[in-house]
Amino acid sequence: MIARRPPPQYGGAPGYWSPETLLTAAVADCFVLTFRSVAQASKLEWESVSCAVEGTLERVDRIPWFTHFEINAELRIGDPDNRGKAERCLEKAERACLITASLKAETTLHFQVEVTDSA
């Protein structure tokens, strides 16, 4: 059992997340885990991946719901010849993410693939 306390914006102590923040974090976590799986299946060698997500919460017919998630991913690879494969893996991860596929909200993926200087 997980003990939940309200986050600061609802009168709680610092260090607790709101359900909205938890959902946004779940989108980011699912994207990264899905990317790792896709990259492994594609035999893509990569060095690091990070992801930040912004969710848009709107009132639709007087009911609040998330309408959009903006996924911003950064990927570091060592081999410049793998840039195209890396981009395809990121795009596939966005399409295959279980969390975003389960929501009505649209998603937009922005990514940056950085090639590390191995020289």
The CATH code of the domain that includes 93 is: 3.30.300.20
Number of other CB atoms surrounding residue 30 within 10 Å: 20
Q: What pLDDT does residue 118 have? A: 63
Domain assignment present for 8 = no
Domain assignment present for 61 = yes
Whether the pLDDT of residue 119 is over 60: the answer is no
Domain assignment present for 5 = no
The whole-model pTM stands at 0.87
User: Residue 60: which H helix or E strand, with range?
Assistant: strand 48-60
- The pLDDT tens digits for 38-86 are 999 999 999 999 999 999 999 989 999 999 999 999 999 999 999 999 9
Domain assignment present for 59 = yes
Q: What pLDDT does residue 117 have? A: 75
Domain assignment present for 10 = no
Domain assignment present for 36 = yes
Full residue range of the structural domain in which residue 111 is found: 18-115
Domain assignment present for 62 = yes
**Phi and psi dihedrals of 73, rounded to 5?**
-115, 145
Determine the average pLDDT of the residues in 99-119: 91
Domain assignment present for 85 = yes
Question: How many structural domains are present in the chain?
Answer: 1
Say if CB 44 and CB 113 are below 8 A apart. no
- The pLDDT tens digits for 1-28 are 555 666 677 777 777 788 888 999 999 9
**Chain Cα centroid distance, residue 18:** 17
